[in-house]
A and B are shown apart, each in its own frame.
Chain A
C-alpha cells in the first residue's frame, strides 16, 4: 500500500499534528519506505490464527469503591501551561457570541 500527499494530510489531521508542505513530502516518502517493508507481513497466511493483544492473560482488576488518597489538586495542576481558580485554562471551545 502506498500513501499520497492527500492521505498524509488526512492522517496528520487524525493525529492532530500540524504539518508543513515540506514535512508532508518527507513523511510520504518515509512512510512509504517503511510500509514497503511492513507489507511483507501480508505474505503470512493468518486466516485461521487468533489475534494476540497481550502476551500474558490480562484480566480486569477491580477494587472497593471507597475514597482513598490521590493526586492533590496542586500536584495535578503543577505542570499545567495555564491554570486559573484550580482548573486548567484552555481557549474557548463553545459559543463566542456574547464575549466582550
Chain B
C-alpha cells in the first residue's frame, strides 16, 4: 500500500512528482482509492467509485513517462486524482443525479468538461453525491443518502455539489467538478473550506451535464488552492460546438496570474447592503470585514457598494430556476430512459406514475413551482417579472465593476449546519442569498476560505469569502483570491485530513 499523503500536494506538485520519478501515477491512484475506501463509508462523497478508470488513466500516464515524456509533453493535469458530480456523463459510469428516476442510467457519451479533464490526464476516481438533480443547498435531497461534511460528520457539506466539495475537503481527490445554478459550487465550497469557482456563463460547455436551469447552469472546479482552480479552469473552458452558449475567449495564463498575484492597487468593493442583511451570522460578517482590512493592508483600494435589486435575486431565482427546471425535467417520462412504473393503464398513467415514483420531494416541489409560474395567467406576473429583475441585477453589477475590479461578500450567511436543521424549504432557499445574484447576472465568482467561526455548539468551522468578478474577468478574481490566500496562509485541512 502506498504511503503517499495526497492532501499535501497540489495538482502541479503531483504532476511534477510523477515527472521527477518521486512516485508513479499508479501510486497516486492507489493512494486516492485507499483513502476513499477508508473514509467514504462515513463521508459518502461518492455515488460510484471507478478504480478501473483511475488505473487505466494512471497506466497511460506512467507509460508516457516511461516513454520519455517530460514537462513539455505530459498533459497539464497528468496523474491528478479527480472526480465528477453525478450529473456529468462519463462513459463507463452511471449518471444518476442522485435520483431514483436515473438510478440505473448508464452514460451513453462523455460530458465535454469531463472529457477535457480526462484528456488532460486526470485519474477519474468516480462520481460524486449531490442533491437530487442539484435541487438543494445541503446535500440532503440525495436519494442515495446525504454526503457529510469532513469538518464534522454531523453537519451538511452544503449543496448541491455536496460530494464534490466533501471529496476535496476529505483529501480523496485533488480536483472535482461541480455545477452551479444558484450557488451549488460556491456554497458547499464555503461550508467545507475548499476553493470553489463558478466561471462566467459561457466560459465552460455544459454539454453532457444534465440540465437544471439552462440560462443559469455553469460547471466549475473544487480544489484546495487557487492555483489549482486556475489550472482546472484552463483545461475545461473554451468553445464547444455541442453547447451553443459556450464561447471562445482569448487565451489567458490563469495559473501564472495566480502564482504571481499581488493585491496592490486592486479595487475591492464590499457589497455593503448585502453584508448588513438580516440573518447573517455575526462572525461570518466579521470575517468579511477582516478580509477587507487584509486587502487594504496588502495595498488594495477598498470601498463600499450597494446592490439593492440583488436583494430580490432570491425571488427571481425561485421563479426562473424552477420554471426552466420544470421544462428540462419533462424529458423524464419513463419512455426512453429512467424509471418506468409497472403495469401502466395507458401512456398518461405511465408518465404520471413513473415521475411520481422516480422524483423525490424537493424535485416535485420545484417542478410544481416552475409549472405554476409558467402556467396561463401567471406567466407575466412571475416569469416575465423575474426576467426584468434579472436585467436590473445585471445592470447593477456592470455599474459596480466600473468602479471596482472585484466585489466581496460572504459566500454563505452561516457556517455548516446540522442535518435536519433546515426542514422548511424557504429557510433552506435563503442559504443561497449571496450566490444567486451572480448566476442571474451571469458573471463569475469564487469562494475561498477566509477564516473560522464557531457553530452554535462551539465547533470550529470554515468561513467562505465570495470574490465576484465581471463577465470573463476570472483573471482578476484569481488575482484577488491568490493574493489573499498567500497573505492569509490559513491551514484549512479538515480534521479528516489532519488525522
Interface residues of A (CB under 8 A from B): 1, 3, 7-8, 11-12, 14-19, 23, 27, 30-31, 33-35, 37-44, 46, 49-56, 58-61, 63, 71, 75-76, 78-82, 88, 90-93
Q: How far is B105's CA from A34's CA once the two chains are assembled, in angstroms?
A: 32
Q: Does B387 contact A (CB under 8 A)?
A: yes
**Is A93 in contact with B387, judged by CB distance below 8 angstroms?**
no
Closest B residue to A77 by beta carbon equals B336
Q: Does B244 contact A (CB under 8 A)?
A: yes
Closest A residue to B443 by beta carbon equals A55
Closest A residue to B201 by beta carbon equals A55
* Chain B residues, CB < 8 A from A35: 369
Indicate which residue in A3, A15, A30, A46 contacts B326 across the interface (CB closer than 8 Å).
Answer: A15
**Is A54 in contact with B372, judged by CB distance below 8 angstroms?**
no
Indicate which residue in A19, A37, A88 contacts B336 across the interface (CB closer than 8 Å).
Answer: A88
Q: How far is B106's CA from A51's CA once the two chains are assembled, in angstroms?
A: 38
Indicate which residue in B202, B350, B392, B426 contacts A91 across the interface (CB closer than 8 Å).
Answer: B350
Report the minimal beta-carbon distance from A89 to chain B, rounded to whole angstroms. Answer: 9
**Is B369 in contact with A34, judged by CB distance below 8 angstroms?**
yes
**Is A79 in contact with B337, judged by CB distance below 8 angstroms?**
yes
Say whether, besides A16-B355, A55-B215, A63-B241, A31 and B201 are in contact (CB < 8 Å): no
**Is B245 in contact with A38, judged by CB distance below 8 angstroms?**
no
Say whether, besides A49-B391, A52-B391, A79-B337, A30 and B365 are in contact (CB < 8 Å): yes
23 contacts between A and B (CB under 8 A): A14-B375, A15-B355, A16-B348, A19-B356, A27-B364, A31-B368, A41-B312, A41-B316, A41-B319, A44-B385, A49-B392, A51-B390, A51-B391, A52-B391, A52-B394, A56-B202, A71-B108, A76-B108, A76-B336, A79-B108, A81-B337, A81-B339, A91-B347
**Is A18 in contact with B353, judged by CB distance below 8 angstroms?**
yes
Say whether, besides A53-B387, A56-B201, A31 and B334 are in contact (CB < 8 Å): no
Identify the stretch in B10-18, B71-79, B162-170, B376-384 within 8 Å (CB) of chain A at 4 or more residues: B376-384
**Is A53 in contact with B244, judged by CB distance below 8 angstroms?**
no
* Chain B residues, CB < 8 A from A27: 364-365, 368
Closest A residue to B339 by beta carbon equals A81
Q: Does B335 contact A (CB under 8 A)?
A: yes
Closest B residue to A93 by beta carbon equals B347
Report the minimal beta-carbon distance from B308 to chain A, rounded to whole angstroms. Answer: 10
* Chain A residues, CB < 8 A from B353: 18
Q: Does B482 contact A (CB under 8 A)?
A: no
Q: How far is B353's CA from A39's CA once the two chains are assembled, in angstroms?
A: 31
Say whether, besides A27-B364, A27-B368, A56-B247, A44 and B312 are in contact (CB < 8 Å): yes
Q: Does B434 contact A (CB under 8 A)?
A: no
Q: How far is B426's CA from A14's CA once the two chains are assembled, in angstroms?
A: 24
Closest A residue to B309 by beta carbon equals A44
Say whether, besides A19-B356, A38-B382, A53 and B215 are in contact (CB < 8 Å): yes
Q: Does B429 contact A (CB under 8 A)?
A: yes
List 4 additional A-B contacts (Cβ < 8 Å) besides A38-B318, A51-B384, A88-B335.
A15-B371, A31-B368, A56-B247, A75-B108
Q: How far is B340's CA from A88's CA once the two chains are assembled, in angstroms?
A: 12
Closest B residue to A37 by beta carbon equals B426
Residue with the highest number of chain B CB atoms closer than 10 Å, among A43, A55, A58, A91: A55
Report the minimal beta-carbon distance from B330 to chain A, rounded to whole angstroms. Answer: 8
Report the minimal beta-carbon distance from A70 to chain B, rounded to whole angstroms. Answer: 10
**Is A33 in contact with B425, judged by CB distance below 8 angstroms?**
yes
Q: Does B442 contact A (CB under 8 A)?
A: yes
**Is A81 in contact with B338, judged by CB distance below 8 angstroms?**
yes
* Chain B residues, CB < 8 A from A41: 312, 315-316, 319, 385-386, 389
Report the minimal beta-carbon distance from B328 to chain A, rounded to whole angstroms. Answer: 12
**Is B372 in contact with A3, judged by CB distance below 8 angstroms?**
yes
Closest A residue to B203 by beta carbon equals A56
* Chain B residues, CB < 8 A from A58: 244-245
* Chain B residues, CB < 8 A from A88: 335-336
Q: How far is B315's CA from A43's CA once the two chains are assembled, in angstroms?
A: 11
**Is A50 in contact with B388, judged by CB distance below 8 angstroms?**
yes
Could you tell me which residues of chain B, from 298 to 344, have a CB within 8 Å of some CB in chain A?
309, 312, 314-316, 318-319, 326, 330, 333-340, 344
* Chain B residues, CB < 8 A from A63: 241
Q: How far is B326's CA from A17's CA once the two chains are assembled, in angstroms?
A: 11
**Is B344 in contact with A91, judged by CB distance below 8 angstroms?**
yes
Report the minimal beta-carbon distance from A38 to chain B, rounded to whole angstroms. Answer: 5
Closest B residue to A54 by beta carbon equals B215
Q: How far is B389's CA from A51's CA once the two chains are assembled, in angstroms?
A: 8
Closest A residue to B430 by beta carbon equals A37
Could you tell me which residues of chain B, from 459 to 479, have a CB within 8 Å of some CB in chain A?
471
Say whether, besides A41-B385, A91-B350, A33 and B315 are in contact (CB < 8 Å): no
Q: How far is B356's CA from A78's CA once the two chains are assembled, in angstroms?
A: 23
